Amino acid sequence: MTSLYLSCATTNTAISATPSSHPRPLLPKPSHSHFITHAKLTNRLHHVSCSSTPQNQNDETKKPTAKVVDRRNMLVGMGGLYGATTLASTPSAAANPIQAPELNKCGTATNLNNGEKLDINCCPPISDRIIDYKLPPVFQMKIRPSAHRVSPEYMFKFNTAIDRMKRLPKDDPRNFMQQANIHCAYCNGAYDQPGQGTLDLQIHNSWLFFPFHRWYLYFYERILGKLIGDPTFALPFWNWDNPKGMTMPPMFVDPKSSLYDKKRNQEHLPPAVVDLGLTNSTDTLQVVANNLTIMYSEMIRGNSDANDFMGQAYREGDESSAKAAGSSERGSHTSVHAWVGDFKDQPSGEDMGNFYSAGRDPLFYSHHANVDRMWTLWQYFLPSNKVPDKRITDTDFLNTAFLFYDENAQLVRVTVKDCLDNLRMGYDFERIDLPWLDYRPPRQSARAKINRASSTAAPKAAALFPLTLDGVVRFQVDKTKKGKADESLVLEDIKVDTTKLLKFDVFVNDEDDNPGELDKAAYLGTYAQVPHKSANNNSSTSSIKLKLTELYDDMDIDDDDTIVVTLVPRHQGPVLPLVVSRLSRIHRNRLPVVLDH
């Protein structure tokens, strides 16, 4: 039987501070309590860079063995605890960046609706003239506004732009449905990786998630500005990370507006508060507290390196069904998709609740504008003592390419390396307070109750596998003593049916055993996915890594030999069992900081 793996190795890396080539605007400063603050940040952060010889990243380049999986099952393997100080993003010794898709080889995308295969043609118009895109000079910065704070004049302008986009000829690549189909094509199996046979190209669940969507919104925004003759037009962001923005923005809920989508969950229209935890709680104050805790966890507490936030490496020849999403993608991003999508009257969660149809809802672009804002905040403004530098210099990342049609209907090729700085792309965000920035859960002492649970209701993890998780389950995992290593909880070989909405939360030493409350030290993080088509019979193998360092400090368990892990499945749609299949070892060697490009 395999066992949990604990690594206490550390890697020392030379670090030097280098200023950004573009001064970053100021953002709000965190308060010293859990209350919202209106104070302003007075210092600027600098990028941290280091140099190192690239190392072979063996596990990143291995192909998983395909297994036949019951579509109703979600399979999870526990990778255990290991030293977070050994982790970072390093280049593969023998790999290449994923190239832009070949439009003339685009096929039908696939969605599964109640087991019935539905082929969807979301291929764009074909052009034989492709231009390598160069970012134009920035003469005036566009400011993306908070969707809840826009003026009537802005709403009229935005509504007009979307209306004109919908009225464009159907074969115009700038047409509303053509733009929506971009997400479908890149996310539901219409494209293969060039030169890799029928291997799917999938931009989710990897380090391509943020760069792809940033380029997507960039051209979408420029098209809208062109249609209304306003080159300064900027998309609004739905700031669901702030209590004042945790309802659907008003301009999207008018049935007479071009911004309306009738396929949204009608139970979640205002004044309903977005539930980032998908807990189905009816306590609005608890939902808000949960939301702020989730944001703190996925932005700060749970990340030890860039891959934890950005997602795992994804290179030419990699199976798209064997990658892992970063904390933001699998957390708030996925939850908002699921919360807006209608799984009651639309079995596959259309529109927002499924990748193939998400772009058909105008709200999708404001949602992803906030996702993009999260990337910007994480890149430049999070406290340097909490999160290390976040730039990735792996050439397989930087040279990955995508194809888009620009505002002039010209097909252009873009690369990741040109979208890493939003200011160079000519846009920034309205300043909004960040109440989650200092929303660290209060300290909690759980030793007595958890120790009793450990000896009775929580067996050792090695004795538990395999199991069917159709309810809450608890098990013990060995840990190191304080000071030996920063640790992370690794859940490997998470095998899921990709056509279903699936989510589970992870708690450690949860003394009150109330899974509806996430605003506590015991909450560690989450795994979730939006329904989509995948290779390998629509099964996917993934993993998550959740940093434990701050949780140990908050729970007074440094001297304990074990922790008790609780997995809580959430079901916002088809109720599916979660099956934990086996234990596995971790063999990854990484550095504690990610190199600056």
Q: Give the tens place of pLDDT for each residue, 285-310.
A: 999 999 999 999 999 988 888 889 99
Is residue 561 scored above 90 in pLDDT? no
Task: Examine residue 151 and state whether it is found in any structural domain, yes or no.
Answer: yes
Closest CA to 417 of 393, 451, 381: 393
DSSP, residue by residue, 386-437: TS-------HHHHT-EEEEE-TTS-EEEEEGGGGS-TTTTTEEE-----GGG
- Kindly state whether residue 164 falls inside one of the protein's structural domains: yes
Q: Which amino acid is it at 496? A: V
Q: Which residue pairs from 62-70 have beta carbons closer than 8 angstroms and sit at least 24 positions apart in sequence? A: 63/318, 63/319, 63/322, 64/319, 64/321, 64/322, 64/541, 66/536, 66/537, 66/539, 67/495, 67/539, 68/537, 69/495, 69/497, 69/537, 69/539, 70/497
Summarize the confidence of residues 134-139 as an average pLDDT.
97
pLDDT at site 395: 95
Q: Is 109 among the domain residues? A: yes
Angstrom distance (rounded) from CA 439 to CA 441: 6
Provide the domain count of the chain.
Answer: 1
Confirm whether 348 is domain-assigned: yes
Q: How many CB atoms lie within 10 A of CB 573?
A: 21
Say whether 32 counts as a known binding-site residue.
Answer: no
Q: Is 597 annotated as a binding residue?
A: no
**Structural domain harbouring 417:** 95-438
Sign of the alpha-carbon torsion through 551, 552, 556, 560: positive
Q: Is residue 296 part of a domain?
A: yes
Cβ-contact 304, 327 below 8 angstroms? no
Beta strands in 484-538 (DSSP E): 487-497, 502-508, 523-529
The mean pLDDT value of the chain amounts to 77
Q: What CATH number should be reported for the domain holding residue 266?
A: 1.10.1280.10
> 309: closest CA among 408, 221, 209?
209
In a domain, residue 185? The reply is yes
Distance CA 239, CA 429 (A): 11
In a domain, 412, yes or no: yes
User: How much is the pLDDT for 32?
Assistant: 33
Q: What mean pLDDT comes out for the span 522-534?
A: 78
Q: Which residues pair with 477 in a beta bridge?
A: 563
Report, as residue numbers or ranges, the catalytic residues.
Answer: 183, 204, 213, 333, 337, 355, 368
Please report the pLDDT score of residue 20 as a whole number.
38
Is 368 annotated among the ligand-binding residues?
yes
Residue 214 has pLDDT above 60, yes or no: yes
Instruction: State yes or no: 367 annotated in a binding site.
Output: no
Question: Residue 558: is its pLDDT beyond 80?
Answer: no
Establish whether 571 is an annotated binding residue: no
**Distance, CA of 382 to CA of 378 (rounded, Å):** 6
Give a yes or no: residue 387 inside a domain. yes
83-122 burial: b if 16+ Cβ within 10 Å, else e? bbbbbbbbbbeebebbbbbebeebebbbbbeeeeeeebeb
Interval 357-401: pLDDT, tens:
999 999 999 999 999 999 999 998 887 666 666 778 899 999 999
What pLDDT does residue 51 have? 26
With a pLDDT cut of 90, the percent of the chain lying above it is 46
More confident residue, 100 or 529: 100
Q: How many residues does the chain have?
A: 597
Overall average pLDDT of the 3-31 stretch:
34
